[in-house]
Amino acid sequence: MNYNAFNLLRQGLSGHKGWTQAWRSPEPKSQYDAVIIGGGGHGLATAYYLAHEHGMRNIAVLEKGWIGGGNTGRNTTNVRSDYMFPESAAMYNFALKLYETLGKDLNYNIMLSQRGWLTLIHDQHQLEGARHKANWLQCNGVDGQIISAGQVADMLPGLAMNSRFPVRGAFLQKRGGTIRHDAVAWGYARAADKLGVDIIQNCDVQGFEKTDGKITAVNTSRGRIATHRVGAAVAGHSGVLAEKAGFRLPLTSHCLQAMVSEPVKPLLDHVVISPGTGVYINQTQKGELVMGGVLDLYHSYGQRGNFPTIEKVITSAVEMFPTFSQMRLMRHWAGIVDITPDSSPILGQSPVENMYINCGWGTGGFKAIPAGGYLLAHSIATGTPHEMAVPFGLNRFRENRLVDEGAAAGIAH
């Protein structure tokens, strides 16, 4: 059933009882032409583009929990494409462009809100860095500009301009903003299901069967599934899955936390981050303030929050916006993110001939979901990397061709 004004009216008049299920819950088949492991945004987008762009239909997405229950449903929903290196700029900007029409393409409201992404500038050194970045972005055809302290004060009326780290201006990407995160997972799931993709939840991939070094089947908590093409998009558990397939990845897994306040009236129209503290804030359409900071520098698969992070994020948020001090915190959670040495993703061929990987997005892969899915689908369907994915191949670590966005773009998200 299409989501449109006519159907909304029709269902409204009949008590909303006639909406059909957005996707099926089929039993796993014994064989698929391709299996995607991980039902987050990247895995679901991969399945959709495999079906939509490459005409493959006999595909399954295997998710050990529920779709969008990993980092895709746990992130702070920020999107932007202000990365510095040409290869990153091309890929993240491609993702943002796909996001700009995704609601229409999937017939699903992903609540894209291009309200502007502001990175505060606190000192001369950061101003130089921001100028450098804005010039790079222009060379790469990506929008981004420096605005003055006065303009920042006008845009963010509650911001303390002279707190611990005084505000000297900001870097602004107007096309940056937020998207409802679980709508991205649900939208891709519904569209993929419509094209015949089987989305199988509660299906943990526990091992692989191989012949002559190639995968012939995956063993899951719901039985054996034969396949000759495997795509993996399991974020913080990529290292665990790789070990099951017989290889290692240059990744470390860390806990990253976020939190929301109680809902309040609209008071923050943009997304704002302070490089002084690493803390960033946006306000949801429901009125909650979404806040996050830097990751735990301790390696862990423990997907839970801790009080020191709450304290750090809240004190920094209140330092930026003193009026927030009377608000109550409503919820707090964590996800496990996968960090590469150069803070860029790993895309394409794995050391196993018929297994392709999409991982290493770290703290900033939500904004890249359409591109990550598109590029992984290309690798699975054609056996070769898309030219946009070539710089992000696993072999860059062996060949010393790092795309060091950790140094260039700084804090991700």
Q: Provide, rounded to whole angstroms, the least separation between the CB of residue 296 and ligand FAD.
A: 11
Q: How many angstroms from the chain centroid is the CA of residue 211?
A: 34
CB nearer ligand FAD, residue 121 or residue 241: 241
CB nearer ligand FAD, residue 156 or residue 199: 199
CB nearer ligand FAD, residue 159 or residue 235: 235
> Does 281 interact with ligand FAD (rule: CB under 6 A)?
no
What is d(CA 205, CA 95) in angstroms, rounded to the nearest whole number?
28
8 A C-beta contact, residue 397 and residue 388: no
Among 92, 136, 208, 361, binds ligand FAD (CB under 6 A): 361
Q: Provide, rounded to whole angstroms, the least separation between the CB of residue 405 and ligand FAD.
A: 13
Q: CB-based contacts of 59: which residues, under 8 Å, 6+ apart?
A: 32, 33, 34, 35, 36, 47, 50, 51, 192, 196, 197, 198
> Does 177 interact with ligand FAD (rule: CB under 6 A)?
no
> Does 204 interact with ligand FAD (rule: CB under 6 A)?
yes
Burial class (CB in 10 A: 0-12, 13-18, 19+), 211: exposed
Q: Provide, rounded to whole angstroms, the least separation between the CB of residue 10 and ligand FAD.
A: 34
In Å, what is the CA distance from 34 to each residue of 50, 149, 240, 358, 394? 9, 52, 21, 15, 21
Among 59, 89, 137, 233, binds ligand FAD (CB under 6 A): 233
Q: Provide, rounded to whole angstroms, the least separation between the CB of residue 402 and ligand FAD.
A: 19
Bridge partners, 335 (sequence order): 256
Q: Considering only CA atoms, which of 184, 154, 181, 190 is closest in space to residue 170?
A: 154
The DSSP result for 196-261, as a single string, is T-EEE-S--EEEEEEETTEEEEEEETTEEEE-S-EEE--GGGHHHHHHHHT---S-EEEEEEEEEE
> Does 237 interact with ligand FAD (rule: CB under 6 A)?
yes
The 323-342 contact track toward ligand FAD, x by CB under 6 A, reads: ------------x-x-----
What is d(CA 39, CA 373) in angstroms, rounded to the nearest whole number?
11
- E-strand stretches of 113-204: 117-121, 145-148, 169-173, 177-178, 198-200
What is d(CA 59, CA 350) in angstroms, rounded to the nearest whole number?
20
What is d(CA 376, CA 163) in angstroms, rounded to the nearest whole number?
45
Q: Provide, rounded to whole angstroms, the least separation between the CB of residue 73 and ligand FAD.
A: 7
CB nearer ligand FAD, residue 204 or residue 262: 204
CB nearer ligand FAD, residue 71 or residue 173: 71
The 104-143 contact track toward ligand FAD, x by CB under 6 A, reads: ----------------------------------------
Q: At what angle do helices 86-106 and 181-194 cross, to 10 degrees?
A: 70
The 241-280 contact track toward ligand FAD, x by CB under 6 A, reads: x--------------xxx----------------------
> Does 292 interact with ligand FAD (rule: CB under 6 A)?
yes
Q: Provide, rounded to whole angstroms, the least separation between the CB of residue 335 and ligand FAD.
A: 3
Which 16-75 residues touch ligand FAD, going by CB under 6 A?
A: 37-43, 62-65, 69-72, 74-75
Residues contributing to the site for ligand FAD (CB under 6 A): 37-43, 62-65, 69-72, 74-78, 204-205, 233-235, 237, 241, 256-258, 292, 335, 337, 361, 363-367, 413
